[in-house]
Copies of this chain bind each other. A is one copy, B any other.
Amino acid sequence: MPTAAAAPSDVIRIAIDCMGGDHGPSVTLPAAQAFLAAHPQAELVLVGLPEALAPAAGWARCRLVYAAEVVTMDDPIEVALRKKKQSSMRVAITQLKAADGASPLAHACVSAGNTGALMAVARYLLKTLDGIDRPAIATVMPNQAGRYTTVLDLGANVDCTAEHLLQFAVMGSALVAAVDGKEDPSVGLLNIGEEMIKGSETIKRAGELLRQAAADGHMNFYGNVEGNDIFKGTTDLVVCDGFVGNVALKTAEGVATMMGAMIKEEFSRSWLTKLSALVAMPVLQRFRGRVDHRRFNGAALLGLRGLVFKSHGSADAFAFEQALNRAYDAARNRLLDRVHDRIVETLQAMPAAPADDTTVTGDGALDIPQTA
């Protein structure tokens, strides 16, 4: 059984690695303050170096927990895992572990630290859920339907079997159900064509497993989808291996950045175009708001015995607060229980993945989408 998550009416406590990310406490503390103001039922556990946490001394609904070290954005996984045992990242994740019979100190943990390190430390401390071979990273991307599409894996697993992809679909369905309140989210398998015969042997076999799960009534499997379907909003969830997901995420980031820069360039070309930019400003700002990647900040590390969320390393206070919101919603809606229930329901009758070397292949360079 996973660590029990809180019932909707309970107090939700989020542990924050205040030192993580490019900006550390100068971003995480203002975000924490804004989050507390917006959520009267929430409590925070702020983890960091004593001097960094000084501004938060005396804040209501906040407990300060001191750490002695910081995992930097460039630290190799090995260093985070074996050397820096008093890091704020590690101490923050430890808050999710309950002593025997007791409740955990926090229901979810958020860090903007290095993804590879975060995944490795979280996996080491929390362990994976029964039935899950490998944790995966899930995030959301905006779509044309005015909603957003949840995509996983985004870089935790570069080589996946069909069984891993099935597990991602199960965990992702639980995430969408918990955070978006959509109980039976549609699942697409990322492929290079809609037809069943498309793709590698792994993908075809994953399609078979997903169709079987759907036939058994355990999943709302749509079928194959392609890269553009993520942004069309064809399905609620898109499942792929971490290599493909990471390339898709960064390609999307690249196109959005390029298009944004081109619009800017064209509007700055002359005094006449600058004038028209002034006129078009309110419209351009609304557009920018819709594709503002900060709104979509907060990737879930799924498959662990605890709720860990990863913020983009370069997040500002607004973006970091969105990651806190996502972690809060996940904890409040009992994501951990839901993942567990779906695993029991769907995976029990299904084949297990072949023996895994359990090597953590977390991607230290991974970050959350920059869609504007």
- Specify which of B193, B195, B261, B276 is in contact with A280 (CB 8 Å cutoff): B276
The digit string for A203-237, where 1 denotes a CB below 8 A from any CB of B, is: 10000000000000000000000111111100000
Interface residues of A in 275-317 (CB under 8 A from B): 276-277, 279-280, 282-284, 286-287, 290-291
Q: Does A111 belong to the interface (CB within 8 Å)?
A: no
Name which residue of chain B comes closest to A250, CB basis.
Answer: B227
Which B residues lie within 8 Å of A247 (CB)? Answer: 190, 192, 226-227, 240, 244, 247-248, 251
Cβ distance A237 to chain B, nearest Cβ, rounded Å:
16
Cβ distance A356 to chain B, nearest Cβ, rounded Å:
15
Task: Evaluate whether A266 and B250 lie within 8 angstroms (CB atoms) in the complex, with A144-B257, A276-B282 already known.
Answer: no
Contact B263 A287 (CB under 8 A): yes
Q: How many Å lie between the Cα of A190 and that of B250 in the bound state?
A: 11
Which B residues lie within 8 Å of A262 (CB)? Answer: 144, 287, 290-291
Name which residue of chain B comes closest to A149, CB basis.
Answer: B254
Q: Does A198 belong to the interface (CB within 8 Å)?
A: yes
Which B residues lie within 8 Å of A249 (CB)? Answer: 227
Which B residues lie within 8 Å of A261 (CB)? Answer: 144
Task: Evaluate whether A231 and B258 lie within 8 angstroms (CB atoms) in the complex, with A226-B365, A266-B283, A276-B279 already known.
Answer: yes
Give the secondary structure class of A's interface.
Answer: helix
- Specify which of B228, B258, B277 is in contact with A253 (CB 8 Å cutoff): B228
Cβ distance A62 to chain B, nearest Cβ, rounded Å:
36
Q: Does A353 belong to the interface (CB within 8 Å)?
A: no
Task: Evaluate whether A364 and B257 lie within 8 angstroms (CB atoms) in the complex, with A248-B247, A276-B279 already known.
Answer: no
- Specify which of B266, B282, B370 is in contact with A286 (CB 8 Å cutoff): B266
Cβ distance A44 to chain B, nearest Cβ, rounded Å:
32
Q: Does A143 belong to the interface (CB within 8 Å)?
A: yes
Q: Which range holds the interface residue count of chain A?
A: 35 or more
Q: How many Å lie between the Cα of A59 and that of B22 in the bound state?
A: 65
Contact B273 A283 (CB under 8 A): yes
Name which residue of chain B comes closest to A365, CB basis.
Answer: B193
Name which residue of chain B comes closest to A199, CB basis.
Answer: B158
Task: Evaluate whether A198 and B365 lie within 8 angstroms (CB atoms) in the complex, with A266-B286, A283-B267, A283-B277 already known.
Answer: yes
Q: How many Å lie between the Cα of A226 and that of B363 in the bound state?
A: 12
Cβ distance A98 to chain B, nearest Cβ, rounded Å:
34
Contact A193 B364 (CB under 8 A): yes
Q: Does A28 belong to the interface (CB within 8 Å)?
A: no
Task: Evaluate whether A287 and B266 lie within 8 angstroms (CB atoms) in the complex, with A230-B251, A243-B199, A247-B247 already known.
Answer: yes
Task: Evaluate whether A276 and B287 lie within 8 angstroms (CB atoms) in the complex, with A199-B158, A227-B251, A228-B251 already known.
Answer: no
Q: How many Å lie between the Cα of A277 and that of B180 in the bound state?
A: 35
Q: How many Å lie between the Cα of A228 and that of B261 in the bound state?
A: 13
Cβ distance A53 to chain B, nearest Cβ, rounded Å:
32
* Shortest 9 CB-CB contacts between residues of A and residues of B: A228-B254, A227-B250, A227-B251, A231-B254, A193-B365, A192-B246, A280-B280, A231-B258, A255-B255
12 sample A-B contacts, Cβ–Cβ < 8 Å, listed by A number: A142-B258, A159-B201, A192-B250, A193-B363, A193-B365, A199-B243, A200-B243, A252-B254, A255-B256, A266-B290, A269-B283, A280-B280
Given A226-B247, A228-B251, A244-B247, list of 10 further CB < 8 A pairs? A144-B257, A158-B192, A159-B200, A192-B250, A200-B243, A227-B253, A232-B258, A252-B255, A277-B280, A280-B280
